[in-house]
Structure 1
C-alpha cells in the first residue's frame, strides 16, 4: 500500500522529521565542548616497524554527536601511515606536524555517553608520552570562515605497569644509580684549574670590610648584594686596599681576561683579576665554595675554607643555544636561564629567533614578521598567520620580543658577562619568514604597488620544486637566486645592529643558520635556473657555496663575524655533504652538531677544524638537551639521537671524542676498530676548536616548566666540561674508567648535595629534574637509591601518599607481602617526584 502526500504536506513532514532528527544530536557549534579525547599507545609486536596509537573520542553529553559536520586537527611529531588507519576515517598530513582527521563514513555518530575508538599506525616507535598528539581542535564544515575550537578535555593515558614489570624497571634504575661509595664532593662547580687547600676556614660576618678597586665597583656591588641576599648581612666598605681580616677585590694586570686568583686565609679573602670578567668568575667560585648549609637568610656568619685557587677556562666559547622559535619563552624565563648560565660561567647565549614555526623578534621595518610569523592559529589558510605547531592550539597568541624586551635581555646578559648571539635562520628552516613576506607581497599587490610587493619576497612564485624537510615542511626555504632575499637579510641585520647599539652592546657576531636544506629544493625554480645559466653552473649543488659566499660578503660589509651550522663549511659534489676547504678563508665560525655514533660523521667537527674553520663543538650526542634523559615512557624529549642523561653529558671528551664510546645511539655494541679510520685533531685543529655548546630545541618544550626540566641539571655538566681543565682520563689511547668514575661521583656529590639545593633558592626556584628512584628486591628486603644525591626517599605502607612526615628510607626494608608500599623522592624544600606503588600479595 502506498500513501501519497500533497506537496505542501510533504514539506511539513520533512520539517517535522528534521526537528526530530536534530533533537537527537548535539548542535554542531557545541560539539567541541561535549567531546573528550584520550590518546594512548597500544603495544604491538616487537618486530612491527611502527606502533599503534589509539584515539578514543568520548561523548560527554546527553545528545548523540554526528561525525559528518566537523574535522579534528592536531599536531603529531611522528609520521602517520595512512594506509594502516581505520577505513571509517581519513588522516591527512597537511604540512609540518599538522594533521587533519576527517570521517569517511558519513553515517558515524557517537551515542550518548558512549565513545568511538580510532586506531592508526606510525612509521616508527614512540618512546615516551611527549611523542603523543597535542593541540587538539575542531573546525566545523558548515562555517565559511575557518575557525578552530579547542578540545579542552584531552588527556594522555599512561601505561600501567604490572608489578613484576615495574620491579624490573626499578631494578635497572637501581643499578644505574650506583655511584662510587663514600665519594667526597669536588670543591666547586665548575672545577678549578689549580687548588691548594689549607686547614681551617675564614668566617665572614657583618663586621667584615669589603675593599674594591675602582675598576671593579660593579662586581663589588654584585658581591655585596649576594652576601646580603643569602645572609642578610651588609658588608661595610673599606678604604684601605687590604683591610685586616677583610675582603679585597684587586686588579692584577698579569692575569688573562677571564683568569682569576682567590686567596682565603686567616687574614681574609683576596680576589685578583685583570678585568671585570675574571672578578665575576671569582665570585661565582666563592658562591660554589659556600655550602648549602651556609645559605640561610640572616645567619650571623658564613664560613669559607682556607685555600689558594688559580683558575681560568678551558674554552673561550662556553655556550647554550635556546630555541625560542618553535615554542616561545618569555623574557622573564630567558633571564632565569641567563642567571644559571652566569652562575656556572657559561658566557654565550645563542638565541634561535626564527624557524619554520615562528618569528620572535620585532623588526620595525618589516612588521609582518611578527604580525604573521609571530602567531599560529587555525585560520592560517588566510595567510595572515602560521599554522598551529607543536601543540600551540587553535587560538595561539602573538608571541615575540619587542625591541624594548630584547634590549632588556641584552643588558641583563651583559651585566653577567654573557654575549647574546642572535640567529637569523637562513635559507632553510625559514618558513615563518617566507610566509610573512608572502603576506607583505599580497598586501602591496592589492594596493597596486608591485615594486614594494617584490622588495622582500623570499620565494620564487613559479618554483615547482618538490621537497620534504627534516620537520616535514614542503615550503620552508628561501630562494637564494632572488636579490630580494639578500635585501631581506640585510634589512634584518641592520635592525639587529640598531637594537644592539641601543643596548650599548654593539653586535659583533651573527648566526645565519644554514642547516638542513632539504634534497630537491630549487631544482624546478626558474629563478635558480637563470642564475645557474648566467654563472655557468652545471649542478644545483653549486648554488650552496654561492650562497655562503654571498652572505659571508654581506656580513663583512656590515663588520659582522658570520656564524653558522656545520653545513656552511660543506658542499655536495653529488655524493652527499663533505668538507669544503675552499670557504675556510671566509672567517666563518661553525657549530658542529652531527656526531651521532653509528652514523659515520663522528669525526666531522675534527675534519672542519683541521680544514681551518673555527669550530664550536655542539655535540648532539651529549649536549642536545631536547633529547629524553632515558628510554622510559615517563621521560619527555626526542630520541632521534639516542638518550642523554647527566653522565653522558659529563662524559663528553671535546678533543678525544671516540675514547670512551663503545655503543651506538641505539645501544648496540660497535664493531671492534670502528673508530680506527676516523680523523683526529691536528695541531691546527686543536687551535680551531674554540668551544663547546649545548642546545635546547623546543618542539617538545611547550612552557617554562618543561624548559627547566630539560635544561637542569644537564646544563651544569656542560658548564663543567666547558670550563674545567682537561682530565687525565681524556687523554691517550685508553680510557681509565675507574678514574672517570671517581671524578664523576665527586661532581655528582657536589651537584646533588650543594648546587641543586641552591637552585631551589635562586629566583624563586628552578624546576630541575629530580633524581629517578631505583628499587631492588633482594631476598626478603627492598633496597632503594636515588639517581643523584641531595634528595631523600620517603615511603608508606598504610595506603596514604608519602609526605615529608612519612618514614624516611635509611637502609634495607624488610618486606611484608601483605602491605602495599608507596615511595617518593623529595627534596628538603618539598619538591617531590612521582609516587611509585608496589604490591606483593
Structure 2
C-alpha cells in the first residue's frame, strides 16, 4: 500500500495520535535515506555540485543590520545545483567571503562566519538532500557593498566530519586563452546599473561602456605622432620615460648604433652597470669590443654636493658620453639610452640630457603574504623597476594569511605559516583564507628560502634598488602567531615549557573578543609578553644576517604597525603589565604606541631605521621615537588625508606618500564590474590618473578629482587647533617636503603572476614618471594653506592644457615604444579596452594608446581587423591586440542602435 494511503487509513482507524506517530516515522524513514558523507561522497559533491554566485542588490533594505556598516549591506543569491542526486548528510562547505555575512535565508542551510573572510555553510535539520538537477538557493546579506565580480572568491571546499576536504570544481577559476586573465565561471555577470553597480543612491559612478570610453578617447588625437605605421615621429623618438629634467635634441642628426656599443668603463665598476647593459642586449643592441663600434665613455665625476642619481648624457654623431655623481647616475643614464631606443630601429637622436630624480624614494610595494609571488616574478619586476628608475622595493613578507621568508632558527614560520590547506587545528598549515583552496603546493602558497631571498637581494643591489622587508606587527600577524602556537604545543608535549614559551606571541589566558579590519579575532601579537619581543629580536637579527651575507645591508625595516583593533582588553598579561609598569601606561589604548616605540628603539640599537604605516605611527610620541622614522601615509585625499601627511613632515619624519586614491594598484583600472580588484578607495585608477598626480600638492586634487562615488569633495588645508591651542593639522611648513612616493600592489585577490603584472603595468610607468620628474604643469604648493574644491581654480585651464598635452605624448610613447619592450620582457601588461560606438550603421573605434591593433567580432564569431570606420548591421564586440597578435585585451560589447 502506498505510504500516503496507509497514513489516511491509520488516521481513520486509530485516530489522530496514530496518524501523528506514523507521520513522525515517515519523517524518520525519509531522514534515514540521507547517509553520512564518506570521503567518496565528498569527491562526488566536489565533482558534481554547481555553484552560482549572484550579487543582486547593493541597496540598503530592512534586511540590513542597522547597527553594522551604517545600515549598508548587499544581497547575494547563492545557487547550488546538483547534477546528480546528493543523498548525504554531515557535510559542509567552507568558502571565502570578503565581508561578513549578516543574515542567511534558507530552510535547509545555515551560514556562519569562521574567521577572517572564511565562512561555512552547514546543513540544517530540514535538509532533504538534492534530487538530480535540483537547485537550492541561499540568499544572504553581507556588510557594505559588492561592486566587482572579483569579490566572489573561488575554491569552495566540501568537507565531511572526518575533515576530508575537496575543492568544488565549479568554483575554480579558469584562465582565458586570449587575455591570460582569470575567468570566474561561477559568478553571474552584473547587468543592473542601479542595483548592482552603485554603492548608494548618491553614487554618480558611470559604468565605463565601449560607448563612453569612445567619447573619452576622442579627447586624444595621436595621428600627429605617427608618420606611418612603421616609424615614429621625431617627438616620440626623443622621449624618455621617466621624463628627464632637461633634454635637447637635434631635429635631424642621429647616431647609428646598429654595429653595437663599445663601453669604455674608465673608473666605473662594471658590476654597477652590468644589469643596464644586459637590458640593452635584450632590446637588440649588442655590447662589442671593437674600435669600429660606437664608443660609450663612462666617466665618473666624484662630487659630494651632487644628489644621488644625477647624470649628464651626451649623444654625439660618433660617440656617447656619460658623466654622473655616482654609479647609480651612470646606471640611470644607460637606462635613458635604452628608453630612447625603439626596438627594431638602429638610431638614437643626437642631443644632451641633464637629469636627476625629483624624489629620493621611488618605491613599489609587493604584497607576497596574502598570495605568493614566486622568485622569478620578483626578479622580473626588479628588471622593470630599474628600467624606469624606481629604487625601493617594499616586500610585504608577512601578514595574517602567510609568512613568506625562511628564518632558519624558527622553521615553523614557513613549515606552517607559509601554506594554506585544510587543517582546523592549524598545526600543519593555516586555514584557506582568500579562496586559497586545499592544495599546500598551489601557487598561492610558498616562501623564499634564504638562498632565494639572497638572490633577490643581490639582483636588487645590481639594479640600485633597496629592498625594504616588512613582516607586519603587532596586528596583521596571524600567520606568525599560529606558527608560534604550533611551536608552543610541540614543546609542551615534549615537557619543555621554557622552550615552548620562548617565542609565544599570544596570551593563553586572554579572553578578549575583537575583530580586525579584515575580520580576524586572533591576529594581534600580545605586546605585554616578553616572549613577543624575544621573537621579534630573533627574527630581526636573522633577517639582518641574511641581508649582510648578501652584501645588501638591512638599513631600514617596515614594521607595519597598522590596523590594530581592540586587542588585549581582557589579557591577563596586559592587565598585569598595566598594574606593574613604571612607564606611565595606565590603559590598554596606550599599549599599541608603547609597542611601536619599543620596537623602533630595538631596531635603532641594531642600526636599522624604522618605517611604518601612518595610522599606527599617529599614536606614538615623537620624542620617544628614533630621529629617523619613515611614515607611509595612506590617508585618502577625499577624506583630508593630506593633513596627517603634513603633520608627519612637520615633525621631521620622512614621509612616503602611499595615497590609495591613486597609488593602490590592486584597485581597478576602470569602473567596470569585470575590472579586477578591491575598490574601497577608488573605482578607477588608470595610467592617466597616476600621471595626473601632483604629489607635492595633495589638497589641490579636490579641484579636478572626485571621491569614490564620483562626487566632488573639499580639501581643507588651513591651520586647525584644539581648545587648548594645540595644532590638530597645519599646512606643510616651508622648506619641508615628502621623501617620495610608493605604488602599492596588495594581493588579497591576486592569485596569479599574470594578474599581478596586469595590475602593475602600465601604471608602473606613470608611477615612475611622477616619482622621478617634477611636472611643469603641477600647481606649486601654498604654504599659507587654503581650502580646495572645484571652485578654487588654482589648477588653471592653461595648466590643464599643458598636462593633457604632455599626457598625450607620454601615452603615445608608451604605446609606440615601451609596450614592445614590455612584450619582449614577457611582462603581462594590461592591454586597454577599446572605445567604440555604432552610429547610423557604422562602427567607430579608438583606443587610449596608439600602436595596438583593433579588432571587431561579427555575429558569425569571426574577428576582423579594424582600420577605419566600417559598416555593421548588428551588435559587435571590440578588443585590442598586441602587434604580434599573441595576446588580446578584454573585449567590450558595442550596441547597435
How far did residue 527 of structure 1 move?
Answer: 1.3
Distance, in Å, in 2 between the alignment partners of 1:609 and 1:87 is 57
Match of 1:627 in 2: 667
Match of 1:216 in 2: 269
Question: TM-score if structure 2 supplies the norm length?
Answer: 0.83
The 1:517/1:394 distance shift into structure 2, 3 A limit, reads: same
Q: Does 1:682 align with 2:733?
A: yes
How far did residue 244 of structure 1 move?
Answer: 8.9
The 1:267/1:482 distance shift into structure 2, 3 A limit, reads: same
Match of 1:648 in 2: 689
Distance, in Å, in 1 between the alignment partners of 2:37 and 2:567 is 48
Match of 1:637 in 2: 677
Of 814, 822, 831, the residue aligned with 2:877 is: 822
Distance, in Å, in 2 between the alignment partners of 1:424 and 1:680 is 33
Match of 2:22 in 1: none
The 1:580/1:649 distance shift into structure 2, 3 A limit, reads: farther
Deviations 1:394-439 (A, max 9, x none): 2333511111111111111111111111112111100111111111
Q: Does 1:776 align with 2:806?
A: no
| 1:760 partner SS | helix
Match of 1:151 in 2: 168
The 1:40/1:172 distance shift into structure 2, 3 A limit, reads: farther
Deviations 1:76-131 (A, max 9, x none): 1122222x422431110000010100121444221123332322222222111110
Contact kept, 8 Å, 1:729 with 1:737, in 2: the verdict is: no
Match of 2:76 in 1: 53
The 1:78/1:569 distance shift into structure 2, 3 A limit, reads: closer
The 1:521/1:673 distance shift into structure 2, 3 A limit, reads: closer
How far did residue 292 of structure 1 move?
Answer: 3.5
The 1:278/1:448 distance shift into structure 2, 3 A limit, reads: same
Deviations 1:535-564 (A, max 9, x none): 343322222332222112211221111111
Deviations 1:170-215 (A, max 9, x none): 2222233334334654711000011111231101132654322142
Of 425, 429, 432, the residue aligned with 2:479 is: 432
Q: Does 1:336 align with 2:349?
A: no
The 1:676/1:214 distance shift into structure 2, 3 A limit, reads: closer
Of 601, 613, 617, the residue aligned with 1:565 is: 613
**Which sits farther off after the overlay, 475-484 or 670-679?**
670-679
Contact kept, 8 Å, 2:362 with 2:390, in 1: the verdict is: yes
Match of 1:6 in 2: none
Of 383, 402, 424, the residue aligned with 1:358 is: 402
Contact kept, 8 Å, 2:554 with 2:608, in 1: the verdict is: yes
Contact kept, 8 Å, 2:368 with 2:397, in 1: the verdict is: yes
The 1:180/1:112 distance shift into structure 2, 3 A limit, reads: closer
Match of 2:870 in 1: 813
Deviations 1:194-253 (A, max 9, x none): 111123110113265432214232356545544443336442255xxxx99532122222
Deviations 1:450-482 (A, max 9, x none): 111111001111112121101000111111111
Distance, in Å, in 1 between the alignment partners of 2:576 and 2:168 is 49
Match of 1:724 in 2: 773
Deviations 1:329-357 (A, max 9, x none): 11111111111111111111111110010
Question: TM-score if structure 1 supplies the norm length?
Answer: 0.89
| 2:832 partner SS | coil
Contact kept, 8 Å, 2:42 with 2:159, in 1: the verdict is: no
Match of 1:203 in 2: 256
Contact kept, 8 Å, 1:377 with 1:388, in 2: the verdict is: yes
The 1:51/1:264 distance shift into structure 2, 3 A limit, reads: same
How far did residue 161 of structure 1 move?
Answer: 5.4
Q: Give the alignment's Cα RMSD to 1 decimal.
A: 2.9
Distance, in Å, in 2 between the alignment partners of 1:745 and 1:561 is 41
Match of 1:260 in 2: 311
Q: Does 1:283 align with 2:330?
A: no
Structure-to-structure mapping, 1:136-215, within 5 angstroms:
136-141=156-161, 143=162, 146-154=163-171, 155-159=185-189, 169-181=209-221, 182=224, 185=236, 187-198=239-250, 199-206=252-259, 209-215=262-268
The 1:470/1:90 distance shift into structure 2, 3 A limit, reads: same
Contact kept, 8 Å, 1:211 with 1:237, in 2: the verdict is: no
Q: Does 1:346 align with 2:390?
A: yes
How far did residue 660 of structure 1 move?
Answer: 2.8
Contact kept, 8 Å, 1:627 with 1:639, in 2: the verdict is: yes
| 1:660 partner SS | helix
Structure-to-structure mapping, 1:230-309, within 5 angstroms:
230-231=283-284, 233-237=286-290, 246-254=295-303, 255-294=306-345, 302-309=346-353
Distance, in Å, in 1 between the alignment partners of 2:273 and 2:600 is 41
Deviations 1:31-57 (A, max 9, x none): 334423333324337454433222222
Contact kept, 8 Å, 1:801 with 1:835, in 2: the verdict is: no
**Which sits farther off after the overlay, 209-218 or 382-391?**
209-218
Q: Does 1:669 align with 2:711?
A: yes
Q: Which residues of structure 1 form unaligned runs of 5+? A: 4-12, 295-301, 572-578
Contact kept, 8 Å, 2:261 with 2:285, in 1: the verdict is: no
Deviations 1:655-701 (A, max 9, x none): 10121324543234335675556733212532xx2111111110011
The 1:647/1:370 distance shift into structure 2, 3 A limit, reads: same
Distance, in Å, in 2 between the alignment partners of 1:319 and 1:692 is 6
Contact kept, 8 Å, 2:836 with 2:845, in 1: the verdict is: yes
**Which sits farther off after the overlay, 406-415 or 373-382?**
373-382
**Which sits farther off after the overlay, 450-459 or 274-283?**
274-283
The 1:382/1:700 distance shift into structure 2, 3 A limit, reads: closer
Contact kept, 8 Å, 2:155 with 2:435, in 1: the verdict is: yes
Distance, in Å, in 2 between the alignment partners of 1:390 and 1:19 is 35
Structure-to-structure mapping, 1:669-818, within 5 angstroms:
669-670=711-712, 674-675=716-717, 679-686=730-737, 689-731=738-780, 734-735=794-795, 736-762=799-825, 765-797=826-858, 799-802=860-863, 806-810=864-868, 812-814=869-871, 816-817=872-873
Q: Does 1:117 align with 2:137?
A: yes
Contact kept, 8 Å, 2:170 with 2:186, in 1: the verdict is: no
| 2:268 partner SS | helix
How far did residue 585 of structure 1 move?
Answer: 4.9
Contact kept, 8 Å, 1:350 with 1:423, in 2: the verdict is: yes
Distance, in Å, in 2 between the alignment partners of 1:378 and 1:673 is 47
Deviations 1:301-342 (A, max 9, x none): x20001100111011111111111100111111111111111
Q: Which residues of structure 2 form unaligned runs of 5+? A: 1-8, 14-24, 62-71, 172-184, 198-205, 226-234, 720-728, 783-793
Match of 1:71 in 2: 92
Distance, in Å, in 2 between the alignment partners of 1:492 and 1:544 is 20
The 1:372/1:219 distance shift into structure 2, 3 A limit, reads: closer
Distance, in Å, in 2 between the alignment partners of 1:668 and 1:196 is 40
Match of 1:7 in 2: none
Contact kept, 8 Å, 1:318 with 1:719, in 2: the verdict is: yes
Contact kept, 8 Å, 1:67 with 1:106, in 2: the verdict is: no
Match of 2:495 in 1: 448
Q: How many pairs does the alignment contain? A: 794
Match of 1:35 in 2: 48
Of 491, 504, 510, the residue aligned with 1:457 is: 504
The 1:685/1:125 distance shift into structure 2, 3 A limit, reads: same
Of 90, 101, 105, the residue aligned with 1:80 is: 101
How far did residue 368 of structure 1 move?
Answer: 0.9
Match of 2:452 in 1: 405
The 1:562/1:47 distance shift into structure 2, 3 A limit, reads: closer
